[in-house]
């Protein structure tokens, strides 16, 4: 049975993949998916610790994170739709009316 | 009797004119604006009556209204303090201020911003009175900032011209740099004393500061930085000459008679702190003397009448600081007192000239104004004589007191530098007088014919201030303890300056005679150069037959003198002005501003509008943070 | 441990009203204004504000919901600030929203929901409550930022805020998970056991705390996580900008106070250098960035970054002066910022017109009331006495000095000199420039003027009468759940 260290390692890798995805991908939908990967990395780590500590607080946290992730996805997709309707693009590079 | 109303009258005036000025007639505005200061003046007289009727030992009233702030155990009340020093200051401020308001009601009567003007002016009076009446540093700081703000508004009053708005901004910015010093000094005081009340700080200063190695010098020096900003001393004097862009009564009120003396007042108020630090005292005198020389020499070559007066203000402030540094605090305040009269008189006179000539201020283009504007001429002459320190005008007494204090404390060199300043002062003032008022006019005939003298209200102000310049010096007769009424009056707050009991080898009257002689020589020289010399070509033509040789020689004497003495001074002065003033100090200020704005441009580059770039910045920062934590722990 | 619903009465009331408003929005006829909803919202906030004010005098600490929620004076004060900010924003909303054609009942619902999130942050006794509060606060704001759907900048602002907000939520959660693993609990009291060292436990604590604080630093707009602030503030509807600039800052700093003051004192040597650097960066980023701005909303956005830096200076001193100063400055900042945005709204026109400095030229003289009020807010932001901003700044910098951080205080004062570079431009535009516009449309919006007047009076009031609020704020810290043995109880 692997210890929490290996879970932490996997979670770190997942989190990095997500974070890099957020920073480098241009497509808004892929970016939303990358955020979900980051949140899932967190969930994995919470569950590993909850298991190691033998208590339920971490598991409760995971449920809350899932709810938040769902809400975020709803809002994010709404923004994607809105932008596509008004600007015909979902490429983040094209979204910079405001700068300086 | 309550002290507060003296502040409230002008504050109310400012509110009424500021909010409803648009709906009032100019007459009403003038009544409100001038009347509110008039009430302050009356209230000052009532306060003065009460002050003098109370026994000598009890002449300090503190009026606590409520607790304004409490910082930890430190309570800062909103409290006003009326003692001999603040009595003198409110007398000067309300008296001179009232006549300048009166003058303004005529001077500005054609200006569309009449209501706004009086609102600002009244607000300024409030702030200045608060500054001198405050019982603690923080309250004083409110007034301190308030006068800075009002001067910014008034200098930029005619904002339609960029120069004026920029001058206003410059004044505010430079003042804020000085305020930085004041603020940090105040923090140090809180740190050392745990209080900001003048009484507590000053009475406990020796025991608290004696033990500390650096605070004892840092506090007075930091406060002095604030004073150099407000009172236009090296290196922060740059704002004052530009500040002449405002309406002339404003220059008279703010940049000559009251606001610039705030620094002098502050140093006098906290003098026990300075007495503990001889180096700080020396710095004050040194800066004062350097400023008085620099500004006086710059004034020698200016052609703009108001600019000459502006530099002369800086120079006179230098005298005041020189006196403060020489522990002659009451002489510094005495010079504030006399200077307020004659400088206000001079400025208002130049305002009349400016009015009559439709904004022309170049003395090279004037000449012969004496015949057309006798009242202005005579009052201006009185002011100039007072400024030059000629007996029996006010400036003679105060300047001389300062010079003798310099001799006693710092020896003949500083005294000589002060005398050199007095010489230059007399020279440049009479250069202006001779060029502007005497000789043949260089104005166009039409303009000259239609010159008008001061209107009645302006005339009243001019005459009253000229009378003040004539008599205000007699309150302190040098060389006699019993006749030193001014410093005697102030002795409950400021220590009596040392007299010649200090066994100075040269009697005070000799010093006095020298400085008077030097000033007279300055006037004579101005006469030779600006009144005799321009007429010379004409004379030469007439006398060709008779005394050609003699005259030729005389001419050469003048020429040689010109080449050997005057030219170098003029060149030096011009050089100082160009290099020190324009290039170095202005340049320094500009360079700082430039660097700041360049950095601002750098920040803009990071703000490129791409949200992924923001995320990348955040991500990179996080990575750096994590790496730091991993390797540093 | 029981469910004491009374402790969350304000939150329950706000949530129910929020749901009601959202329902009303569904049935609202097009092209009508939900005046009734507005009136209900205003009355509700006034009532809740009164309730909060009365409960700000409570002594002691009450807990409920299995230690997830705590009620104490600190939370009550922060809640009160939020309600004040919300109420002022509501006053200026109808005129603005009608002008922009987005006056819907759900606007009020979303504002209320956001307030609920803030309240849960203030009452958080656990990182779980704190996180959920933060999300409940943020999500309605994402939507509100993008509310002007047909105005290009508004959806962009919403998207940018959402994008970075979601990213930082994940970062913060990741940090919380580390703390959970290291400490075995997500209760704030558990943080007292935090120890930073080079072993496994110490590193987990360090990473966890660092990531958590970065998440909050993002919300507070602290450098180097501040880049979203100008773009989002510029694009969002102006009322929402005012709301975010004040309420979100109160919430983020409230959360920072809760967390920082729960830490054990021996981590200060690690914490302070980072905090120092962040404060300096933030002040410079805000003040330097603002120098070149011509859009007032953007200028105020940069200035709000700088103010966050000043607040951090006070927070980092970890002494009583700093605690009082932070609360005082948050309050002062609320008034001067909401007031300034209300003036921007009053001068503005449909479609975000008239929000550049050029548009404001000469307006101060034409409309003396708005002009003088704006001048007052700007002077307060500069820190000129006798305004609330001066008092607040004085406390913050005095705190830094008494905490032995003179350099930080001097940098702070230096920054307020730099800030003159742009604040003066606003004053110059208002009072010292000829009018630029040929056609002058008189400012509209009675409510906005009420907000301006209230803010102006309060900015002066809190500049002149300082003692009693300061005394009350002192009590806020002594009567709070902050534990002995933590930074909060340092002498």
* Residue B94: per-residue pLDDT: 94
Percent over 70 (pLDDT), chain C: 95
pLDDT for B552 equals 41
Cβ contact (<8 Å) for A97 and B609?
yes
3-state secondary structure string, B242-291?
HHHHCCHHHHHHHHHHCHHHHHHHHHHHCHHHHHCCHHHHHHHHHHHHHH
Query: Which of B602, B606, B610 to mutate to test binding with chain A, by most A CBs within 10 Å of its CB?
Result: B610
Q: How far is B589 from chain C (nearest CA, A)?
A: 12
pLDDT value at A74 more than 90 = yes
Q: How confident is the model at residue B225 (pLDDT cuts 50, 70, 90)?
A: very high
At C136 the pLDDT is 96
Does any domain span residue A21? yes
pLDDT tens-digit series, residues C60-74: 778 888 888 888 888
Residue B366 is predicted with a pLDDT of 84
In the structure, what pLDDT confidence band is assigned to residue B580 with cuts at 50, 70 and 90?
Answer: low
Structural domain harbouring A26: 4-88
Which A residues in the span 14-43 are in contact with B, Cβ-Cβ below 8 Å? 19, 22-24, 26
Mean per-residue pLDDT over chain B, rounded: 83
Tokens representing B426 are: 């007399």
Among B residues 150-179, those touching chain C with beta carbons less than 8 Å apart: 153, 156, 159-160, 165, 168-169, 172-173, 176-177
Whether the Cβ atoms of residue C300 and residue C228 lie closer than 8 Å to each other:
no
- The answer to whether B613 and C217 are in contact (CB under 8 A) is no
Among B70, B71, B78, B126, which would you mutate to test the C interface (most chain C Cβ atoms within 10 Å of its Cβ)?
B71
- Exposure class string for B65-82: b at 16+ Cβ within 10 A, else e: eeebbbbbebebbbbbbb
Tokens of B584: 């170095």
Please report all neighbours of C, defined by 3+ CB atom pairs within 8 A: A, B
Has residue B315 got a pLDDT over 90? yes
Nearest CA in chain C to B186: C398
Per DSSP, the three-state class of C279 is helix
Highest mean pLDDT among B69-73, B390-394, C55-59: B390-394
Q: B143-152, B437-446, C124-133: which range is least confident on average?
A: B437-446
Contact at CB, B176 and C206, closer than 8 angstroms: no
Structure pTM?
0.82
**Is the CB of B191 less than 8 angstroms away from the CB of C402?**
yes
Beta-carbon separation of A96 and B611 below 8 A: yes
* Environment class of B26 (CB within 10 Å of its CB; exposed 0-12, middle 13-18, buried 19+): middle
**How far is CA B623 from each of CA A16, B628, C171, rounded to the nearest angstrom?**
11, 8, 12
Cβ separation C159–A83 shorter than 8 A: yes
Domain ranges of chain B: 5-276
CA distance C127 to B121: 56
pLDDT tens per residue, range B97-151: 999 999 999 888 888 888 888 999 999 999 999 999 999 998 898 888 888 888 8
Give the count of domains, chain A: 1
Nearest CA in chain C to B603: C289
Q: Is residue A99 in a domain?
A: no
Per-residue pLDDT at B312: 92
Phi, psi of B236 (to 5 degrees): -100, 20
In the prediction, which pLDDT does C360 show?
Answer: 83
- pLDDT surpasses 90 at C117: yes
Question: Which residue is associated with the tokens 């998970």?
Answer: C177
pLDDT for the residue numbered B555? 38
* pLDDT band at residue C247 using 50, 70 and 90 as cut-offs: very high
Beta-carbon contacts of B200 under 8 Å, excluding residues fewer than 6 positions away, are: B193
C82 vs B192, higher pLDDT: C82
Rounded Cα gap, residues B368 and B352, in angstroms: 15
Q: Are B395 and B386 in contact (CB under 8 A)?
A: yes
User: Are the beta carbons of B136 and B197 closer than 8 angstroms?
Assistant: yes
* Nearest CA among B44, B189, B61, B49 for reference residue B128: B44
Please check whether residue C281 touches A, CB under 8 A. no
- Our CA-based measurement puts residue C363 at a distance from the nearest CA of chain A, in whole angstroms, of 26
Query: Which helix (H) or strand (E) segment is B159 a member of?
Result: none
Contact C138, C170 (CB under 8 A): no
Residues of C in contact with B149 (CB under 8 A): 379, 384
Domain-embedded: residue A68: yes
Q: Is the pLDDT of residue C158 over 60?
A: yes
Render pLDDT for C10-55 as a digit per residue (tens, 0 to 9). 889 999 999 999 998 888 887 778 888 888 888 888 888 888 777 7
From its phi and psi, is residue B194 left (phi > 0), alpha (psi between -120 and 50) or beta? left
A15 vs C150: CB contact, 8 Å cut-off? no
Alpha-carbon span B259 to B261, nearest angstrom = 5
Query: Burial code of B588-607, b = ≥16 C-beta within 10 A, e = fewer?
Result: ebeeeeeebeebbeebbeeb
Number of neighbouring beta carbons within 10 Å of residue A59? 14
pLDDT band at B534; cut points 50, 70, 90: low
Q: Kindly state the tokens that stand for B275.
A: 């007495």
Residue B71 phi, psi dihedral angles, 5° rounding: -115, 105
B568's CB contacts (< 8 A; 6+ apart) are: none
d(CA B298, CA B427): 12
Yes or no, beta carbons of C385 and B141 under 8 Å apart: yes
Residues in chain C: 491
Q: What is the pLDDT of residues B451-468, one digit of tens each?
A: 888 888 889 999 999 999
pLDDT of residue B314: 92
Q: What is the pLDDT of residue A40?
A: 95
Instruction: Answer positive or negative: Cα dihedral of B343, B344, B348, B351.
Output: positive
Query: Do residues A100 and A90 make contact, with C-beta atoms less than 8 angstroms apart?
Result: no
User: What's the CA gap between B456 and C284, in Å, rounded?
Assistant: 55
Q: Which residues of C touch B633 (CB under 8 A)?
A: 196-198, 202-203, 206, 270
> For B352-398, what is each residue's pLDDT tens digit?
988 888 878 888 788 888 888 889 999 999 999 999 988 888 988 89
Interface contact flag, C284 B184, Cβ < 8 Å? no
* B197 bridge partner residues: B136
Q: Minimal Cα distance from A93: which residue of B? A: B610
The interface pTM score, or ipTM, of the predicted complex is 0.95
Which residues neighbour B415 within 8 Å (Cβ) at sequence distance 6 or greater? Answer: B403, B404, B406, B407, B511
User: Span B280-288, mean pLDDT?
Assistant: 94
**Cβ-contact C157, C183 below 8 angstroms:** no
Contact assessment for residue C107 and residue C144, using Cβ atoms and an 8 Å cutoff: yes
pLDDT at position B551 over 50: no
CB burial of B489-519 (b: ≥16 within 10 Å; e: otherwise) equals bbeebbeebebbeeebeeebeebbebbbebb
**Mean of pLDDT values over B611-629:** 88
Residue B549 has pLDDT above 50, yes or no: no
Is the pLDDT at B417 greater than 80? The verdict is yes
Closest CA to C381 of C322, C348, C340: C340
| Least trusted range by pLDDT, from B120-134, B420-434, B460-474, C421-435 | C421-435
The shares of helix, strand and coil residues in chain A, as percent rounded to the nearest 5, are 80, 0, 15
Cβ atoms < 10 Å from Cβ of B565: 11
B439 or B543, higher pLDDT = B439
Task: Show Cβ contacts of residue B557 under 8 Å, excluding neighbours closer than 6 positions.
Answer: none
Confidence of residue B548 (pLDDT cuts 50, 70, 90): very low
Q: Is A100 part of a structural domain of the chain?
A: no
Band of residue B586 on the pLDDT scale cut at 50, 70, 90: low
CA distances from B359 to B159, B247, B364, C70 (A): 16, 11, 14, 71
Question: How far does B633 lie from chain A, in Å, by closest CA?
Answer: 20
B350: closest CA of chain C, how far (Å)? 26
Identify which of A7-16, B73-82, B508-517 has the greatest average pLDDT.
Answer: A7-16
Give A41 to chain B, closest Cα distance, Å.
17
Q: Following DSSP, what letter does each residue of C228-247 receive, concatenated?
A: HHHHHHHHS-HHHHHHIIII
Summary mean pLDDT of chain C: 87
Q: What are phi and psi of B358, to 5 degrees?
A: 55, 50
E strand segments, B32-85: 60-71, 74-83
pLDDT at residue B239 is higher than 90: no
Q: State the burial class of residue B159 (Cβ atoms within 10 Å of its Cβ: 0-12, 13-18, 19+).
A: buried
- What confidence category does residue B540 fall into, taking pLDDT thresholds of 50, 70 and 90? very low
Q: Which of A71-75, B28-32, B145-149, B153-157 has the lowest mean pLDDT?
A: B153-157
CATH number of domain containing A68: 1.10.287.3510
Residues of chain B with pLDDT > 70, as a percent, come to 86
- Segment C381-413, tens digit of pLDDT: 998 888 999 999 988 988 888 888 888 988 988
């Amino acid at each position: 049975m692997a210890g929490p260290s290996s879970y932490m390692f996997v979670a770190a890798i997942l989190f990095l993949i997500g974070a890099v995805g957020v920073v480098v991908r241009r497509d808004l939908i892929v970016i939303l998916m990358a955020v979900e990967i980051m949140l899932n990395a967190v969930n994995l780590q919470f569950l590993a610790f909850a298991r190691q500590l033998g208590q339920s607080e971490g598991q409760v946290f995971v449920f809350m994170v899932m709810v938040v992730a769902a809400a975020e996805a709803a809002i994010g997709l709404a923004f994607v739709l809105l932008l596509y309707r008004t600007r015909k693009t979902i490429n983040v590079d094209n979204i910079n009316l405001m700068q300086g | 009797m309550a002290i507060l109303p003296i502040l409230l009258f002008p504050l109310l005036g400012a509110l009424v004119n500021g909010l409803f000025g648009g709906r009032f007639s100019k007459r009403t505005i003038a009544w409100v604006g001038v009347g509110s200061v008039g009430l302050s003046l009356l209230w000052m007289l009532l306060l003065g009556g009460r002050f003098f009727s109370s026994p000598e030992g009890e002449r300090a009233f503190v009026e606590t209204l409520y607790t304004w702030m409490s910082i930890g155990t430190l309570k800062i009340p909103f409290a006003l303090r009326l003692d001999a020093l603040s009595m003198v200051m409110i007398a000067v401020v309300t008296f001179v201020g009232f006549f300048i308001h009166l003058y303004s009601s005529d001077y500005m009567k054609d200006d569309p911003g009449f209501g706004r003007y009086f609102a600002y002016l009244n607000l300024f009076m409030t702030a200045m009175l608060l500054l001198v009446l405050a019982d603690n540093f923080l309250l004083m700081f409110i007034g301190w900032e308030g006068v800075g703000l009002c001067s910014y508004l008034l200098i930029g009053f005619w904002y339609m011209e960029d120069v004026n708005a920029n001058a206003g901004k410059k004044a505010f910015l430079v003042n804020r740099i000085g305020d930085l010093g004041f603020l940090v000094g105040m923090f140090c005081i809180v740190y050392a004393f745990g209080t900001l009340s003048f009484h507590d700080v000053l009475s406990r200063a020796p025991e608290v500061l004696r033990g500390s190695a650096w605070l004892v010098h840092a506090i007075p020096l930091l406060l002095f930085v604030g004073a150099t900003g407000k009172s236009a001393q090296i290196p922060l004097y740059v704002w004052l000459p530009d500040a002449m862009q405002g309406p002339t009564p404003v220059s008279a009120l703010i940049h000559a008679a009251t606001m610039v003396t705030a620094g002098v007042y502050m140093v006098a108020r906290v003098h026990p702190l300075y007495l503990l630090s001889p180096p700080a005292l020396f710095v004050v005198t040194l800066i004062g003397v350097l400023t008085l020389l620099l500004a006086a020499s710059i004034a020698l070559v200016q052609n703009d009448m108001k600019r000459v007066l502006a530099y002369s203000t800086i120079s006179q402030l230098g005298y005041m600081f020189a006196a403060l540094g020489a522990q002659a605090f009451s002489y510094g305040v005495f010079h504030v007192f006399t200077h307020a009269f004659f400088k206000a008189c001079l400025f208002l006179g130049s305002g009349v000239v400016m009015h009559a000539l439709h904004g022309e201020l170049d003395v090279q283009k004037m000449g012969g104004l004496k015949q057309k504007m006798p009242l202005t001429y005579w009052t201006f002459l009185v002011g100039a004589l007072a400024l030059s320190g000629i007996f029996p005008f006010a400036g003679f007494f105060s300047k001389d007191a300062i010079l003798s204090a310099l001799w006693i404390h710092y020896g003949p060199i500083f005294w000589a530098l002060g005398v050199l300043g007095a010489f230059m002062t007399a020279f440049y003032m009479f250069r202006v007088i001779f060029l502007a008022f005497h000789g043949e006019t260089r104005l166009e005939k039409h303009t000259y014919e239609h010159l008008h003298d001061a209107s009645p209200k302006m005339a009243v102000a001019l005459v009253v201030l000229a009378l003040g310049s004539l008599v205000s010096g007699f309150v302190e007769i040098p060389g006699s303890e019993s006749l030193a009424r001014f410093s005697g009056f102030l002795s409950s707050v400021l220590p009596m300056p040392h007299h010649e009991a200090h066994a100075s080898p040269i009697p005070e009257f000799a010093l006095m005679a020298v400085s008077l002689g030097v000033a007279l020589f300055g006037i004579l020289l101005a006469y030779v150069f600006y009144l005799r010399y321009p007429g010379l070509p004409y004379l030469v033509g007439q006398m060709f037959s008779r005394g050609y040789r003699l005259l030729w020689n005389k001419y050469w004497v003048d020429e040689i003198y010109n080449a050997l003495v005057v030219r170098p001074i003029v060149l030096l002065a011009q050089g100082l002005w160009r290099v020190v003033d324009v290039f170095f100090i202005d340049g320094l200020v500009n360079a700082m501003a430039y660097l700041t704005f360049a950095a601002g441009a750098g920040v803009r580059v990071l703000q490129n509008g791409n949200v992924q770039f923001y995320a990348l910045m955040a991500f990179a920062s996080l990575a750096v943070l994590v790496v730091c934590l991993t390797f540093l722990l | 441990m029981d469910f004491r619903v009374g402790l969350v009465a304000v939150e329950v009331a706000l949530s129910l009203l929020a749901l009601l408003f959202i329902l009303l929005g569904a049935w609202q006829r097009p092209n009508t204004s939900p005046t009734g909803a507005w009136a209900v919202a205003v009355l509700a906030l006034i009532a809740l504000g009164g309730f909060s004010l009365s409960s700000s005098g409570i002594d002691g600490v009450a807990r409920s919901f299995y230690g997830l929620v705590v009620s104490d004076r600190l939370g009550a004060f922060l809640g009160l600030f939020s309600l004040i900010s919300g109420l002022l924003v509501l006053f200026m909303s109808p005129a603005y929203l009608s002008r922009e054609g987005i006056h819907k009942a759900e606007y009020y619902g979303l504002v209320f929901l956001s307030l609920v999130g803030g309240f849960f942050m203030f009452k958080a006794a656990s990182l779980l409550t704190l996180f959920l509060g933060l999300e409940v606060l943020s999500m309605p704001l994402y939507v509100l930022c993008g509310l002007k759907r047909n105005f290009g900048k508004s959806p962009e602002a919403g998207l940018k805020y959402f994008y970075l907000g979601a990213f930082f939520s994940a970062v913060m959660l990741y940090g919380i998970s580390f703390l959970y693993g290291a400490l075995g609990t997500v209760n704030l009291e558990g943080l007292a056991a935090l120890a930073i060292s080079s072993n496994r436990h110490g590193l987990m604590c360090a990473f966890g705390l660092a990531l958590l604080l970065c998440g909050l630093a993002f919300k507070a707009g602290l450098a180097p996580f501040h880049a979203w602030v100008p773009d989002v503030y510029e694009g969002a509807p102006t009322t929402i900008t005012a709301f975010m600039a004040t309420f979100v800052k109160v919430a983020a700093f409230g959360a920072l106070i809760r967390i920082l003051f729960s830490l054990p004192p021996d981590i200060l040597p690690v914490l302070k250098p980072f905090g120092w650097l962040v404060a300096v960066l933030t002040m410079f980023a805000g003040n330097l960035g603002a120098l070149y701005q011509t859009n007032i909303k953007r200028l105020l956005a940069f200035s709000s970054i700088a103010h966050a830096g000043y607040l951090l200076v006070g927070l980092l001193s970890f002494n009583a002066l700093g605690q009082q100063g932070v609360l005082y400055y948050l309050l002062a900042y609320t008034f001067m910022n909401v007031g300034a945005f209300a003036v921007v709204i009053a001068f503005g026109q449909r479609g975000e017109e008239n929000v550049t400095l050029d548009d404001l030229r000469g307006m101060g003289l034409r409309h003396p009331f708005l002009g003088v009020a704006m001048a007052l807010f700007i002077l307060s932001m500069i820190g000129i006495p006798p305004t609330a901003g001066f008092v607040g700044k004085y406390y913050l910098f005095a705190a830094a000095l008494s905490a032995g951080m003179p350099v930080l205080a001097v940098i702070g004062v230096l920054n307020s000199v730099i800030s003159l570079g742009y604040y003066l431009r606003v004053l110059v535009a208002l009072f010292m420039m000829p009018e630029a516009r040929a056609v002058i449309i008189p400012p509209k919006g009675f409510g906005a003027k009420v907000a301006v007047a209230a803010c102006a009076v309060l900015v002066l009031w809190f500049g002149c009468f300082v003692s009693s609020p300061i005394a009350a704020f002192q009590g806020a810290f002594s009567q709070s759940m902050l534990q002995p043995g933590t930074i909060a109880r340092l002498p």
